[in-house]
Amino acid sequence: MNPVLLTKSQDNIKASELLINNKFYATSIHCSYYSVYQRLVYTLNCLKTSMNLNISDTHKRSIDAITQELKKQNRAKAEDIEDFTNRITALKSLRKRADYEIKMIIESESRDAFKESKELNKFLFDNIE
């Protein structure tokens, strides 16, 4: 499988940290979210997972597909999979707020998103790849 998305995922987490250290908090959240999302899509591509094309939101469709794959892999507990899904959905909402809303993102939100991204990426690695 072409590792471009995996490389982008790794680059985004590094970029997020650099952005936080340089006080670009909103932009760092964007990178934190996309680090997880790109790893998720990379994983789905490796598994050659087909997604339900009736759902209009590509990100929701991808999150739903990875949730199903996590359940099929049967390596994580059901409550951990539900927690993963809730956490990535919350990170996605924060990314939308950071990208589109006229509200400031503070340093603690940015640092929390960075930490969350690292943990979600690790969960995917530990339970599917």
pLDDT digits (tens, 9 = 90+) for 84-99: 999 999 999 999 999 9
Higher pLDDT, 128 or 63: 63
pTM here is 0.91
* Amino acid identity at 83: D
pLDDT higher than 90, residue 51: no
Confidence bin at 128 (pLDDT 50/70/90): confident
Single-letter code of the amino acid located at 119: E
**Per-residue tokens: 58:** 């590509």
Q: Give the pair of three-digit tokens for residue 65.
A: 């597909």
| Domains of the chain from N-terminus onward | 4-127 (1.20.120.330)
pLDDT at residue 115, as a whole number: 98
Instruction: Measure the CA–CA gap between 100 and 2, rounded to whole angstroms.
Output: 31
Backbone torsions φ then ψ of 37, nearest 5 degrees:
-60, -40
